[in-house]
Structure 1
Amino acid sequence: MKEENESRGGMLIALCTICYFMSYLTRINYGAVLLEIERAEGISKVAASMAVTGSFITYGAGQLISGWLGDRLKPEKMILAGLLTTAGMNLLVPIFTKPGMILAFWCINGFAQAMIWPPMVRIMSACLDGDTYKKAVVRVTWGSSAGTIAVYLLAPACIRWKGWKSLFFLCAAGAICFAVVWIKGVPAAMKRAGEARNRARDGTGSTPRLTMAGTGRPGRLLSKSAVLVLVLVMPAIVMQGVLRDGITTWMPSYVAATFSLDSSSAILSGVVLPIFSIVCLEITSVLNRKLIRNELLCAGVVFLTGFCGSLLLAFLSSVHVLVSVGLAALVTGCMYGVNVILVSMLPAFFQKKGKVSTISGLLNSCTYVGSALSSYGIAWVAQEKGWQSVLWLWALVAFVGTLLSLLCTRRWNVFKTDAS
């Protein structure tokens, strides 16, 4: 029955993975060509980074709203609205290139992007059994890595072909095409996956209802142990967001400034980061499911690995471009691993409370608080203090994240017992 459930859920997982791929394709493309926009449009580093900061802020705030709505509205329709809106914003950015206009469009894009992940978590948690869900969130997160790889491969080619603007037109076209595939394919995929899950669980073939707390009643208040865990986990996720998106956004600029590379070569170096993140995601998944079996302890171990990598990067920052890129890839990969544990796997434990989408939105918003801090903060530190200070800042952030994750381990076990 388990094999049948995984097979039946395959189409749903595939659609969610491609959806997340398109989400990243239309979200991080601006950051990928940030350096080229600065040069081509004559915009300062801080002014150009404001659009990234604004989108992170609206994405983080939108996660809270989307998470709450995702437990109450049809999640597949919310995702469709997000895809179509982000496609529209990607079409407008290359047409209206004044910094203020780009800032406005990219802030709207951030909010539209927030309509994708919390509803998607709700769909997967409702239609897949527990073990399949844990594997599915890793596969879906591959979509983010694949999207990042695609952007960092497409960006240099587009710059050399028709300029940075062509990247946005290409990404918008892809989002529109997939939106059609999504709305036509996802209802049937949800039905098949849910029926297979119910047969495996209780022998029925009924279609699952996406209801609050699995009972049709409003979600109940969280326990004291759950609140205490969230209080510690949320700032740890902020630290993860600072590192994951900060390094992804500013790595090309750091490489270009330190090793005197042109825009296309510096952007291309960013491909290494998401490739390594896929490996780290798989290692983290195996550690969590088969060895450590405590999500917060697993996150702490992965965070500690990232801290060691960031320390080495600070000490060896100017040795060779391959050393810097490799260590940055290690740290970013570790942060992807932390993200899949803290943001993707933890919300599923709130299924009985009817707050899967709400908690998913809350935790994911913390990632983008960190992302917003990093996009503007790193630009300021780099401009005022230099890139070496940025590297030491990354090491400090990784150390704080490690401590916060490890402090949660015992309380998390108490909560898991209460939630089971």
Structure 2
Amino acid sequence: MKKHRILFLLCWIAYFSTYIGRQNYTASMSEIIAAEGYLNRTCGLVGTGFFITYGVGQIISGFLGDRFHPKWMIFTGIFLSSLSNLSMAFLTTPEAMTAVWCVNGAAQSMTWSPLLRIFAEYLPEEEQKTACVNIATTYPAAVFLIYPLCSFLIYISGWKMVFLVSGGFMAAVSALWILGFTRLERLYPEGERSYSRKTLDEYGTMGQDFRFTGSLVLLLSLAGFLLTVQGALRDGVTGWVPSYLSNTYQVGTFIAIFATAFLPFINLFGVYFANLIYRKGKKNELETTMILFVISLFSIFCLIVFEGMSLFLSLFFFAVTTSCMMGINVMLVSFIPSYFIRFGKVSTISGLLNSTVYIGSSIATYGLGALADTAGWSFILKFLCAVAGAGVLGSLICIPRWGKFLKENG
């Protein structure tokens, strides 16, 4: 229906804007290091601060997202993020940048879990997973835009202009969100919703039917481990690709940042490739995850073999790796929470799982920078290969437990 498409488009724009307001720092980090003379680990700490507050905030927002109106949570998150971005343009020390970027992480944590609840509440059941797959395109689309845009803005004005433009864009999107969603609400009578809005008392009643049993806690913990690995590979690789290219192939930061815009092409393919594996297979999220980890392991191994031989080959294998991580994110963060619709816990489970992604992201963003300063990029590639191997092993452990859960609750 037309209103479903408009609703999804509005959600897509809103979530796309949050990636603009976080990937802009990643895209311009190598230029900030070069222009300001900061160490890799110093700038990596700014990104780590974001991921820590984002990850912790995901747990809190996931809990609140099942109890408060998602419209206002998403608006607040986008608007506060726009203010954080605008502030970055006026800061001159890495300590101040870290503090403001931590606020940005907390603000952005208010968007994903409420967004997933909107899909569960407003869209027909058969359209929910399709929406989850399609919303994942916001990440590659944002990266595809932000890297060449940052490259251009840095070239004409410097890195501070990146945050001014991003902050202004997010402020405009926050206004579009609140106005657009308020109008759309009138088109959705309560009876049409597949997951109708509940009062606090009703949630309390539903909570009696939901238990974090030992088996469920173990399963979610294993999924969390896989997402930690996925976050380390996705954001760790993406964040340091420009610096890797600049150091390994002796190209300028302008060229390295612009070249990294190649990654989203295959990233976008990875989202739909993961969905294809899922639908053509046994419709088991963990089996799909294992296949994607195996592909990423092979890709990182190829990076080691062909290290220093070709900038384009390096970009290709980095793109394959990050694409697999995008597919894994869809399986574990978007698909798995949908099984908890009946309990009214979509946002809660999504928040718990998504928070673990950023444990890996925060460790990798700082840790890879520190390793680059001390051990060099060759060691980092071998380390990433071991991380991907841990993902394969973890998936194999998870598959039988998830299969049992699907039989009982699918």
Superposed displacement of residue 325, structure 1: 0.5
The answer (yes or no) to whether the contact 2:88–2:100 under 8 Å persists in 1 is yes
TM-score normalised to structure 2 length:
0.95
- 2:238 counterpart of 1:248: yes
- 2:389 counterpart of 1:399: yes
1:292 aligns to what? 282
Superposed displacement of residue 85, structure 1: 0.4
Q: Which amino acid aligns with 2:70?
A: P
Superposed displacement of residue 145, structure 1: 1.2
The structure-2 alpha-carbon separation of the partners of 1:271 and 1:214, relative to structure 1 and needing over 3 Å to count, comes to farther
Map 1:8-407 → 2, pairs under 5 A:
8-190=3-185, 192=187, 205=192, 209-211=196-198, 216=203, 217-219=205-207, 220-407=210-397
Superposed displacement of residue 287, structure 1: 1.6
Superposed displacement of residue 357, structure 1: 0.6
Superposed displacement of residue 190, structure 1: 5.0
**Distance in 1 between the 2:287 and 2:181 partners?**
35
**Distance in 2 between the 1:9 and 1:290 partners?**
26
The structure-2 alpha-carbon separation of the partners of 1:354 and 1:212, relative to structure 1 and needing over 3 Å to count, comes to farther
The DSSP-based 3-state class of the residue aligned with 1:163 is: coil
The structure-2 alpha-carbon separation of the partners of 1:397 and 1:212, relative to structure 1 and needing over 3 Å to count, comes to farther
Superposed displacement of residue 361, structure 1: 0.8
The answer (yes or no) to whether the contact 2:50–2:101 under 8 Å persists in 1 is yes
2:405 aligns to what? 415
Q: Which amino acid aligns with 2:130?
A: K
The DSSP-based 3-state class of the residue aligned with 2:368 is: helix
The answer (yes or no) to whether the contact 1:123–1:210 under 8 Å persists in 2 is no
Superposed displacement of residue 215, structure 1: 5.7
The answer (yes or no) to whether the contact 1:121–1:356 under 8 Å persists in 2 is yes
Gap runs ≥5 in structure 2: none
Superposed displacement of residue 322, structure 1: 0.3
Q: Which amino acid aligns with 1:360?
A: S
The answer (yes or no) to whether the contact 1:13–1:139 under 8 Å persists in 2 is no
Q: Which amino acid aligns with 1:210?
A: R
Superposed displacement of residue 57, structure 1: 0.5
Superposed displacement of residue 129, structure 1: 2.7
The DSSP-based 3-state class of the residue aligned with 2:95 is: helix
Gap runs ≥5 in structure 1: 199-203
Superposed displacement of residue 168, structure 1: 0.5
Superposed displacement of residue 418, structure 1: 2.5
**Distance in 2 between the 1:413 and 1:207 partners?**
25
**Deviation digits for residues 257-305 of structure 1 (CA, Å, limit 9, x no counterpart):** 0000101100012111122111010111122123331111011111111
**Distance in 1 between the 2:201 and 2:408 partners?**
17
**Distance in 1 between the 2:232 and 2:151 partners?**
25
Superposed displacement of residue 419, structure 1: 2.2
The answer (yes or no) to whether the contact 1:378–1:390 under 8 Å persists in 2 is yes
Q: Which amino acid aligns with 1:85?
A: L
Superposed displacement of residue 307, structure 1: 0.8
The answer (yes or no) to whether the contact 2:120–2:194 under 8 Å persists in 1 is no
Superposed displacement of residue 227, structure 1: 2.2
**Distance in 1 between the 2:259 and 2:338 partners?**
35
**Distance in 2 between the 1:138 and 1:132 partners?**
10
* Mean CA deviation greater in 34-43 or 235-244: 34-43
The structure-2 alpha-carbon separation of the partners of 1:190 and 1:229, relative to structure 1 and needing over 3 Å to count, comes to farther
**Distance in 1 between the 2:303 and 2:409 partners?**
40
**Distance in 1 between the 2:262 and 2:296 partners?**
16
The answer (yes or no) to whether the contact 1:83–1:112 under 8 Å persists in 2 is yes
**Number of residue equivalences:** 407
The DSSP-based 3-state class of the residue aligned with 1:293 is: coil
The answer (yes or no) to whether the contact 1:67–1:119 under 8 Å persists in 2 is yes
Superposed displacement of residue 214, structure 1: 12
**Distance in 2 between the 1:169 and 1:71 partners?**
33
**Distance in 2 between the 1:49 and 1:349 partners?**
36
Misfit runs of 4+, over 4 Å? 204-208, 212-216
1:201 aligns to what? none
* Mean CA deviation greater in 400-409 or 25-34: 400-409
- Over the aligned positions, Cα root-mean-square deviation in angstroms equals 1.8
The answer (yes or no) to whether the contact 2:124–2:194 under 8 Å persists in 1 is no
TM-score normalised to structure 1 length:
0.93
Q: Which amino acid aligns with 2:278?
A: N
**Distance in 2 between the 1:11 and 1:315 partners?**
47
Superposed displacement of residue 213, structure 1: 11
Quick one: percent identity of the two aligned structures? 34
Superposed displacement of residue 413, structure 1: 2.0
**Distance in 2 between the 1:275 and 1:256 partners?**
21
